[in-house]
Amino acid sequence: MPGDDRTGRDGTGRDGTGQGGTGHLSPEEFRRQGHAAIDWIADYWASLDDLPVRSRVAPGDVRRALPPSAPEEGEPFDALLADLDEVVVPGLTHWQHPRYFAYFPANSSPAAILGDLLSSGIGAQGMIWATSPAVTEVEQVVLDWFAEALGLPADFRSDGPGGGVIQDTASTATFTALLAALHRASDGGVRRTGLGQERWTVYASTQAHSSLVKAAMMAGLGEDAVRSVPVDPATQAMDVEALRDAVAADVRDGCRPVMVQAASGSTSTGAMDDVAAIVEVARDLAIWVHVDAAWAGVAAVCPELRDHLRGVESADSFVTNPHKWLLTTFDCSTFWVRDRAALTGALSILPEYLRNAATESGEVVDYRDWHPQLGRRFRALKLWSVLRTYGLEGVRAHVRSGVELASYAADLVRADERFELVTEPALSLVVFRLKAGDQPTLETMERVNASGEAYLSHTTVNGKAAIRLAVGSWRTRRTDVERTWRALQEAVG
Amino acid sequence: MPGDDRTGRDGTGRDGTGQGGTGHLSPEEFRRQGHAAIDWIADYWASLDDLPVRSRVAPGDVRRALPPSAPEEGEPFDALLADLDEVVVPGLTHWQHPRYFAYFPANSSPAAILGDLLSSGIGAQGMIWATSPAVTEVEQVVLDWFAEALGLPADFRSDGPGGGVIQDTASTATFTALLAALHRASDGGVRRTGLGQERWTVYASTQAHSSLVKAAMMAGLGEDAVRSVPVDPATQAMDVEALRDAVAADVRDGCRPVMVQAASGSTSTGAMDDVAAIVEVARDLAIWVHVDAAWAGVAAVCPELRDHLRGVESADSFVTNPHKWLLTTFDCSTFWVRDRAALTGALSILPEYLRNAATESGEVVDYRDWHPQLGRRFRALKLWSVLRTYGLEGVRAHVRSGVELASYAADLVRADERFELVTEPALSLVVFRLKAGDQPTLETMERVNASGEAYLSHTTVNGKAAIRLAVGSWRTRRTDVERTWRALQEAVG
C-alpha cells in the first residue's frame, strides 16, 4: 500500500539507517549528520589560514574528478563530506579567507549561517502574506529595524508609503527600480502595452555597476539607452553638471529620461556620487533616482560613516547588501522604495489560486509583487539573527574595524615610494598602483595571487591599471594586512 | 590598533563567549549553537503533526510581538531560538507538515538542508568560473547528472551546444527564456537598441503560469503581448490548432511571434500540453519553445512518468524545480537550453574588474551570463547532496510514493457520491469538487483549512470552483491522506 512502508512520523527513513535506500535520514541520523556538517564548517574555517586563497585548479579539473552519472543507490552523507575535502576545497577560491581582499567581501558569519539553516528547516514559502504570515512580517520588521539603523528616512519604512524588501542581489534591485520607474513614468502604460514608441533613457556615471546596463537590456530598452556620464577624475564621482547636460540634450532629441542611478560606493574605487545634487537635476522631470550603495551602504550603521548618503531622503529607491560587508550569508540585498505603489504596480499579478481574504483586505503586504520571482524563502531570518546576535554595537564595531584596517593599508602604501594611492581610501577599500606603470602593477598583483598568500583584484582608473584591496571579512586582522603588504613588496620585480 | 583586539584566528570572538559584544561566535560556540539549531529543526519536524497546518494569526500579530528597533547590544543566540518558538512558529503555515496539500509542495529534506548549510559555510561566490571554479563545475556536473536522470536529450548537456544552470525560480527561468528568444529573433538587436518597432507576441494556454505574463511585463512587451490560447475542456491542455490560428492571425497583423510556452503540468490541474505538437507549429517561424515543467518535470526521473515531456528534445528550453517535489530546499530551479549562445548573448556583460584569462580562453562557463543576477551562491551543493544521499532509486521511490498517494486520494473521491473528480489525477495532484456547487466546495475546504487538520488550496476549472490536493512531502503517509479525507467528509455542510 502506498506510503505505509515509511516508519515513524517525523522525518524517519525506511531502513532507519539513513544510509542508502531511500535517503530519508531518521531524526537521529539528521542530528548526527547535521552536527557533522556544522563541525565540517568550523574545521574548514580553522584550516583557511593555511590554504592558498585563490584556487589553483585548471578548467575541467573538478569536473574530471567527479563521476559522469548520479549514483543509482544512495550513499552515506560522509561520502559527500569526503569529496568536499578532496575535490571541492582545492577547487575553491576562499571568500571567507582572512586574506581575501578581492572584489568586495561576501561575508558568511556564524549568526547568519545558523539563521539561514533555520530557514531551510522551516522550509516555508513567503510569496504572499497568506502562505506563511511570519515570513512576511518578520521581514518587514527587520527591514524597518535596518532602515532605522542606517538612518534612512521614515518614508522608507513599512508603516509609511514605502517599504523594504530583501532581494537576492543588487542587480535585481536595480532592475526592479527601473521597472518601477518605467511604470511611474508611463502611468502604467508599459505594464499593459509595453515600451511602445518612447525612446526611454537612463543615466549613470561611467563608474556605475554593470548591472544597470544589464537591467536596461532585460527591460527591453537596450544597452544604447544607458547614458554614461563622465566623472571627476580625482574623485571618480559623477559630474552632475554633465548629467544635467545629458538629460537636457536627450529631452531636446525627443527621448524620455526615466531613471538616474547614483553610485554610492562604486565597484572600481568606492566613488561616491552626490546624491543630493543628482536629486536636484532629476526633480523637474520627475526622473526616478535609484541609489546603488550595494557595498558602501551598510557603513551607514555608523553615524560618522553616513555622509555619502546625503540626499537619499529624496531618492526614490535605495539598495545595500548585507551579504557583502555586513556578515549576512548570500543572498541578502536590502532594497527600499519611497512609494511602494510604483513597484507593486509594475510587478503585481494575482492568479486565481493565490486569491485570499488577507490580500483583498489590503491589510498585508504580498512580497511576490516586489520582485521578479514568485517563490521566496524566509531570508529575513539570517539578517534578524545577525542584527540580534551582534547587536547594533557589534555591527558598528565590525564596520569600523574594516575602515581602520583599510586606513592602515593606505598608510603602508604611502610609506613605500614605489607605490602610490590612486584615490583616497573609500571606507574599507584601498586602490593603489606601482608608479612604474600598468604592467609592473598587474604582474605584481598576479604574483601575489598566484602565491596563494593573499588575493586581490584589479581595476582601471583614468585609463591606468590599479590594484584593489577591499577589507571586510570578520576574520581579517592587522597581521593579515601586514602579510599581504609584505607579499606585494616582495613581488615587485 | 585596528583589528588586533580580536582573539584567535578561525572565527573567534573578542570576548570568547560568543554572546553579546561583537557577536562573533568562537569556534566552540559556533559548534554548540550550530548543534542547537540542528536539534531545533529536528524538534520542529517532530512537532509538526500536532500543529495546525495553516497559521491562525491575524495581520499584524507577528509584527506587534517584536520590538520596534534592533537591539543595541548583542543577544544570546538562544534568545532567537526562543522567539522562533514563541512568535514565529505560530505565525507559520507549515509547508513541511505531513498534511500540507496546498499549492505545490516545497520540499526541504535533510540531505538538501545539510548541503545548503555547507554552501553557507563555504560562502563562495560563483558569479564567474574564476571567482571559485568548483562552484561552477560542480553545478555543471550535477545538472548533467540530472539531465540524464530525467531523460533529457544530449543537446542539453554542458558538453554539447546547450547546458543547464540553477535559477532561483521558474519565474526567472521563464523570463530568461523570453530574453534569449528575443535575442535570437532580433539577431542581437534587442540587447543593443531595445525592442524597437516590432510588435512581439508570446503564446501560452489559458492555464499557463502567471509568470509568463510577468515576464512579458518585465521584458517591456507588456501583458497585452501575451496570447492566451484556449484549452481542451476535458484535459485542460492547450488546443494546438488554436495556437496555430493565433500565430497565423498575428503574423497577418504584422506581429512578430517570439515564444510559445508549453505547460507540462499546469498549476491549476496539472494539465500537460502536447510539446511535440507545439514544436511543430513553432518550427516554421523559428519561434522559441519553452517548456514549463516547474512542478511535473521532476517526475521524469521515473521512466514510466516521462510521457508528458514527449517533444522536449526539440524544445529550446526546459525548466523543472527540484525545490518543489524533489526534496531540494528552495531555491533550486533547474533550467536547460539547447543553445546556450542565445542565452549568454542576451545577458552577457564583462566589466573590467571581472576580466580574466579563463573567461577569455573560452574554456569555461561563466554563469553570470545565464541569469539576471551577478552574484550567486553554491546552490549545486544541495542538489548534489540530494542525488547522492537518495540515489536515483531513492528519488524515484519518493516520486512514485506521491503518485500512489494521489491515486489513493482519487479513489476516495470516487467512492463518495457527494464529490466528483474535476480532471483525472495528474501525477501527484488531485482536483475535485462537491457536486453541490461552488459555494459548498469552497466552504468545505475553508472549514478543513480553518481546523488546522490539513491545508488545501482552490482553483477554478471551466468556470467552476475546485479543490486541489497536491501530494509531495516525504513526510506524508497514507494515514495523512485518510485523515484529510475524513476531515473533508465531516466538513461537508
Q: Distance (Å) from the C-alpha of residue A424 to the closest C-alpha of chain B?
A: 19
The 10s digit of each residue's pLDDT in B241-255 is: 999 999 999 999 999
Q: Dihedral through CA B110, CA B116, CA B117, CA B123, nearest 10?
A: 170
Q: How far apart are CA A337 and CA A426, in angstroms?
A: 26
A98 in any annotated domain: no
Q: How far apart are CA A305 and CA A225, in angstroms?
A: 34
Picking from B162, B142, B141, the residue whose alpha carbon sits closest to that of residue B153 is B162
C-alpha cell recorded at residue B116: 545548503
Q: How far apart are CA A439 and CA A436, in angstroms?
A: 8
> What's phi and psi for A320, nearest 5 deg?
-145, 150
Domain of A417?
A: 398-491
Q: Which amino acid is at B10?
A: D
Q: How far apart are CA B79 and CA A384, in angstroms?
A: 12
Estimate to the nearest angstrom the gap between the alpha carbon of A73 and the chain centroid: 38
Residues A319 and A268 in one domain: yes
C-alpha cell recorded at residue A233: 577624475
A 10 A CB-CB count for B464 gives 12
pLDDT at B431: 98
Q: What is the mean pLDDT of residues B429-449?
A: 98
pLDDT band at A349 (very low <50, low <70, confident <90, very high): confident
Chain B, residues 181-200, CB within 8 A of chain A, namely 182, 190-195, 197, 200
- Going by the DSSP 8-state scheme, the letter that residue A88 receives in this structure is I
How many Cα atoms within 13 Å fall on the side-chain side of residue B487?
20
Nearest by CB to A394, from B21, B408, B481: name it: B21
Q: Which candidate in B213, B330, B356 is best for mutational testing of the A interface (most A CBs within 10 A)?
A: B330
pLDDT at B361: 82
Among candidate residues B350, B385, B420, the one where a domain is terminated: B385
Q: Distance (Å) from the C-alpha of residue B279 to the closest C-alpha of chain A?
A: 25
C-alpha cell recorded at residue B392: 536515483
Among candidate residues B54, B72, B89, the one where a domain is terminated: B89
Q: Which candidate in A12, A33, A35, A41 is best for mutational testing of the B interface (most B CBs within 10 A)?
A: A41
Tell me what the pLDDT averaged over chain A comes to.
Answer: 93
Residues B218 and B332 in one domain: yes
| CATH code at position A59 | 1.20.1340.10
Picking from A46, A119, A111, the residue whose alpha carbon sits closest to that of residue A327 is A111
Chain B, residues 404-463, CB within 8 A of chain A, namely 404-405, 407-408, 457-460
Q: What is the mean pLDDT of residues B428-445?
A: 98
Alpha-helical segments (H) within A219-297: 240-252, 275-283
Q: How far apart are CA B247 and CA B227, in angstroms?
A: 9
Residues B280 and B410 in one domain: no
Nearest by CB to B195, from A73, A195, A407: name it: A195
Q: What is the mean pLDDT of residues A343-368?
A: 87
The 10s digit of each residue's pLDDT in A7-63 is: 333 333 333 333 334 667 788 999 999 999 999 999 999 999 999 999 999 999 999
A429-434: strand order across its sheet: A419-421, A429-434, A464-470, A457-461
A288-292: strand order across its sheet: A163-167, A333-337, A317-320, A288-292, A256-263, A200-205, A226-229
| CATH code at position A287 | 3.40.640.10
Residues forming a β-bridge with B288: B259
pLDDT at A22: 60
Residues A70 and A118 in one domain: no
A409 in any annotated domain: yes
Tell me the angle at which helices B438-451 and B478-491 cross, rounded to the nearest 10 degrees: 120
Q: Do A49 and B417 touch, CB atoms closer than 8 A?
A: no
B394 in any annotated domain: no
pLDDT band at B17 (very low <50, low <70, confident <90, very high): very low
A 10 A CB-CB count for B340 gives 21
Q: Is A268 within 8 Å of B389 when comparing Cβ atoms?
A: no
DSSP conformation letters of B249-298: HHHHTT-EEEEEEEEBS-TTT--B--HHHHHHHHHTTT-EEEEE-TTGGG
Residues of A in contact with B363 (CB under 8 A): 59-60
pLDDT band at B18 (very low <50, low <70, confident <90, very high): very low
ipTM of predicted assembly, 2 dp:
0.95
B391 in any annotated domain: no
Nearest by CB to A122, from B44, B80, B347: name it: B44
Among candidate residues B89, B123, B150, the one where a domain is terminated: B89
Q: How far apart are CA B30 and CA B23, in angstroms?
A: 11
Q: How far apart are CA B180 and CA B370, in angstroms?
A: 10
Residues forming a β-bridge with B226: B202
Q: Into how many domains does chain B fold?
A: 3
A 10 A CB-CB count for B407 gives 15
Q: Do B134 and B141 touch, CB atoms closer than 8 A?
A: no
B362 touches chain A (CB under 8 A): no
Question: Does residue A361 or residue A256 have the better pLDDT?
Answer: A256
pLDDT at A2: 38
Residues A173 and A69 in one domain: no
pLDDT at B356: 87
Q: Which candidate in B389, B473, B481 is best for mutational testing of the A interface (most A CBs within 10 A)?
A: B389
B123 touches chain A (CB under 8 A): yes
Residues B140 and B231 in one domain: yes
Q: How far apart are CA A375 and CA B264, in angstroms?
A: 19
Q: Is B72 within 8 Å of A391 when comparing Cβ atoms?
A: yes
| Residue A331: cis peptide before it, omega within 30 degrees of 0 | yes
Q: How far apart are CA B237 and CA B437, in angstroms?
A: 24
Residues A16 and A133 in one domain: no
β-strand B288-292 against B256-263: which pairing, if any?
Answer: parallel
Residues B50 and B166 in one domain: no
Q: Do A96 and B123 touch, CB atoms closer than 8 A?
A: yes
Chain B, residues 69-108, CB within 8 A of chain A, namely 69-75, 77, 79-80, 84, 87-96, 98, 103, 106-108
Burial of A122 (0-12, 13-18, 19+ CB in 10 A): buried
B419-421: strand order across its sheet: B419-421, B429-434, B464-470, B457-461
Q: Is A74 within 8 Å of B133 when comparing Cβ atoms?
A: no
Q: How far apart are CA B364 and CA B380, in angstroms?
A: 17
| CATH code at position B427 | 3.90.1150.10
A105 in any annotated domain: no
Give the rounded percent of residues in chain B with a pLDDT score beyond 90.
90
Residues 6+ apart with CB under 8 A from A87: A62, A65, A66, B134
Q: Distance (Å) from the C-alpha of residue A29 to the closest C-alpha of chain B?
A: 9
β-strand B200-205 against B256-263: which pairing, if any?
Answer: parallel
Residues A35 and A143 in one domain: no
pLDDT band at B20 (very low <50, low <70, confident <90, very high): very low
Burial of A470 (0-12, 13-18, 19+ CB in 10 A): buried
A393 in any annotated domain: no
Q: How far apart are CA A305 and CA A293, in angstroms?
A: 13
DSSP conformation letters of A24-35: PPPHHHHHHHHH
- Going by the DSSP 8-state scheme, the letter that residue B455 receives in this structure is B
Alpha-helical segments (H) within A416-461: 438-451
β-strand A429-434 against A419-421: which pairing, if any?
Answer: antiparallel
Strands (DSSP E) found in A300-444 = 317-320, 333-337, 419-421, 429-434
Q: How far apart are CA B174 and CA B167, in angstroms?
A: 10
The 10s digit of each residue's pLDDT in B267-311 is: 999 999 999 999 999 999 999 999 999 999 999 999 999 999 999
Residues of B in contact with A213 (CB under 8 A): 349
A 10 A CB-CB count for A48 gives 20
pLDDT at B423: 95
Which whole-number Å values give the CA distances from B69 to A143, A302, A312, A340, B90, in the listed order? 10, 16, 21, 22, 22
Number of H helices, E strands in chain A: 15, 11
Q: Dihedral through CA B364, CA B370, CA B374, CA B379, nearest 10?
A: -80
B108 in any annotated domain: no
pLDDT at B493: 76
Question: In this model, does residue A352 exceed pLDDT 80?
Answer: no
Residues forming a β-bridge with B201: B257
Residue count of chain A: 493
Give the rounded percent of residues in chain A with a pLDDT score beyond 90.
90
Q: Distance (Å) from the C-alpha of residue A277 to the closest C-alpha of chain B?
A: 27
Residues B378 and B407 in one domain: no
Q: Dihedral through CA A394, CA A397, CA A398, CA A400, nearest 10?
A: 160
Residues A121 and A208 in one domain: yes
Closest residue on chain B to A391 (Cα):
B74
B438 in any annotated domain: yes
Estimate to the nearest angstrom the gap between the alpha carbon of B444 and the chain centroid: 29
The 10s digit of each residue's pLDDT in B43-101 is: 999 999 999 999 999 999 999 999 999 999 999 999 999 999 999 999 999 999 999 99
pLDDT at A14: 35
Q: How far apart are CA B203 and CA A387, in angstroms?
A: 46
A 10 A CB-CB count for A285 gives 15
Closest residue on chain A to B107 (Cα):
A123
Q: Is A393 within 8 Å of B61 when comparing Cβ atoms?
A: no
Residues B349 and B294 in one domain: yes
C-alpha cell recorded at residue B433: 469538487
